[in-house]
Structure 1
């Protein structure tokens, strides 16, 4: 019953009235590992990494209950240059006590072939100027070496490490799983994306649910969930009443006439675990339910009920 209430509450809050490649896991490098050159990154204008991707009418809904779980686990990222000037923003999601999932292009600048930011301020549950949990600066961040070498969208994910669990002790975090194709192709999987789009008032959280993915491929998830620059790095998770409720299954990274993100398969999961092994952080991985069992998000319904 509580799971059913969650779905109804989330629906009220958010529902409106590729190419094949091979992956290799456990390879990447972190911001702390880069070669020290002493060079200052060139100044860049403020902006985001991808084009807007609202498909047809904009059906995104603003999330105002940003202090309530699971929205509290969604963080606004301020990307700063070496002078402390904010030049861009992205979205990340807590997937462990000191680890956040985001897109690779939020961390690595393919044009400069270097880290895009010198500092990253993580602000969970931000709602305009209101920052209910405060903020922390990331102590390290990581991308797959394949993304750093090629900038290919096939490898567009990254992990951010915080110095401790002070933020997540208050916000909570979402768990990550490797979901089988048959689960992802469920016509009532209810894929959900919540983040911080740059085409809305600065620092406000917006989201949308669809009943199903448009297509599920081996390494990519396709959907018509409206997004915009700034939402890059948002976790893709299920709002379905069932065993996948609240589980992260992908990372939103690209938008065009059809939006897409990286599907979390076994190799990508191994990359995330390798990132935290290298940076000494922790990711909450759970096994995909087989056979399905109820997922224990007992407080979800109350947490995301809206006024």
Structure 2
């Protein structure tokens, strides 16, 4: 792989994987439903079949509930507190709470409790792509430009809690100290390269299952429905919420969408249905005034994720 902004880096250099070459990689890596509790019923459309879910164009505003006290969302460590703009719900809030989090696909999504180098506590979201690999945003595993002495750099540890639902941890919690990202983020702090991974010391993903990943051309993504689930900080503490909507625009590094998210969902999967399975094509990382956005899985990103999954 050329030495560019996608060059992989690790907080454990002796364990750094070598990125797969494009010609050796398939277009997609397949998902798995795991060996845990039964999967939720199959979807009959491009959105998840969730009780109470309403298509965005038909949704009415949902009542806002004061969240329980939780650690601040990890994005604040690198970017500071967001402006008073609702981050980032556009128009009526059509997110729906997931309560049966112990079944596939919901158990693939993980609440992340992050301990930074200065021992400050933060929260984020991640998702399994293999037995021991959880994908997340780069700013979840490596903090940039915080302005706080001793805080920047690789985080100290992350506790991964698949399918967390408030105080309920259906698959327990596993703590990792092994992280991956790329020089475009760790060196430059460039949002176009804001992706990373957590390597677990166990194969918990074999129980929870995982999402596939893939690379799709612009034309396919612009026709896709994006799905995002995670742990927004404007909802009751450590509860999982889901929303879906079409992709608004794409460029060579990012995907943009009007899917409602909030702080705490940094690292969530942006996924769609393909050949009956769920495949990530982006990693949610940023809110915006008109659209939210994530790091697009292009070939270089895909190569790194495949290597980190190995």
Distance 1:244 1:152 in 2: 34
Equivalent positions of 1:191-210 (< 5 A) are: 191-210=226-245
Partner residue of 1:221 out of 235, 242, 255: 255
1:4 to 44, 64, 89: 44
Question: SS where residue 134 of structure 1 aligns?
Answer: coil
Matched residue SS, 1:208? strand
Q: Secondary structure at the match of 2:44?
A: helix
Q: How far apart are the structure 2 equivalents of 1:133 and 1:14?
A: 29
Distance in 2, matches of 1:69 and 1:8, equals 11
Give a deviation string over 1:58-101, Cα, whole Å, max 9, x none.
22111111111011000000012468x56110000000110011
List runs of 5+ in structure 2 lacking aligned partners.
1-40, 60-70, 77-81
**Correspondent of 1:48 among 54, 74, 77:** 74
Aligned partners of 1:245 and 1:180: how far apart in 2? 18
Matched, 1:140 2:178: yes
Cα 1:116–1:202 change in 2 (3 A) is farther
Distance 2:294 2:72 in 1: 24
Q: Normalization by structure 1: what TM-score?
A: 0.73
Is the CA contact (8 Å cut-off) linking 2:156 and 2:177 kept in structure 1? no
Distance 2:191 2:260 in 1: 19
Q: TM-score, normalised by structure 2?
A: 0.72
Tell me the alpha carbon deviations over residues 230-268 of structure 1, each in whole angstroms, 9 at most, x when there is no partner: 1000010014xx527411111000101110111101011
Distance 2:163 2:303 in 1: 28
Compute the displacement of 1:46 (Å).
Answer: 4.1
| Structure 1: stretches of 5+ with no match in the other structure | 18-44, 283-307
After TM superposition, give the deviation of residue 11 of structure 1 in Å: 8.1
State the distance in 1 between where 2:115 and 2:154 align. 9
Root-mean-square deviation (Å): 2.4
1:266-305 matched pairs, under 5 angstroms: 266-274=299-307, 276=308, 281-282=309-310
Distance 1:129 1:3, change over 3 A: closer
